Amino acid sequence: MKYCLILMLMLSSMVAFSQNPIDGKWKGTRETPNGTFEINYLFKVDNGVLTGTWTTQFGESPLVNGKVDGKTFSYSISFNDMTINNTGELTSDNEITIKSERGEMKLTRVP
C-alpha cells in the first residue's frame, strides 16, 4: 500500500511537470477601428512546437509555424488573405503578452 501511494505521487508529479505552462485556454481583447473584439486562444506545446487555434466573433483559425523556446514563443495567423506574425511571452502563470505589427495584447488564462 505504501509503495502504491508513492508510485501514484511520482506519476502525478511527472504529469504536472510535463505540461508546458503555455498550454491551455487564454483570452484577451484587441482594439480595432470597428470596436473592441474578444480573442480566445487554445495553445498546445509539444516538443517545442506550438499548435492551437485562435477564435473571434468571426470564426476560428489554426495557428501556424508555431515555435516555443522556454517562456517565449512565436506563431502566425491568417485571415482575409493576410498573414500576421506574432511573438509571445509568458509573463506570469496567468498572463501572456502577445506582440505583432498590429500592436501588443495581454492574454489571461481561462480556468
With residues binned 3-state (H G I as helix, E B as strand, rest as coil), the percentages for the chain, rounded to 5, are: 15, 65, 20
The count of other CB atoms within 10 Å of the CB of residue 34 is 6
CATH number of residue 28's parent domain:
2.40.128.120
Range of the domain at 99: 22-109
Query: Can you tell me the mean pLDDT for 66-90?
Result: 94
Residue 89, CA atoms < 13 Å, CB-side half-sphere? 4
Q: Provide the pLDDT confidence category of residue 95 given band limits of 50, 70 and 90.
A: very high
- What is the rounded distance in angstroms from the CA atom of residue 48 to the CA atom of residue 81? 27
Whose grid coordinates read 473571434? 56
Query: Can you tell me the mean pLDDT for 26-34?
Result: 91
Confirm whether 54 is domain-assigned: yes
Q: What is the number of domains present in the chain?
A: 1
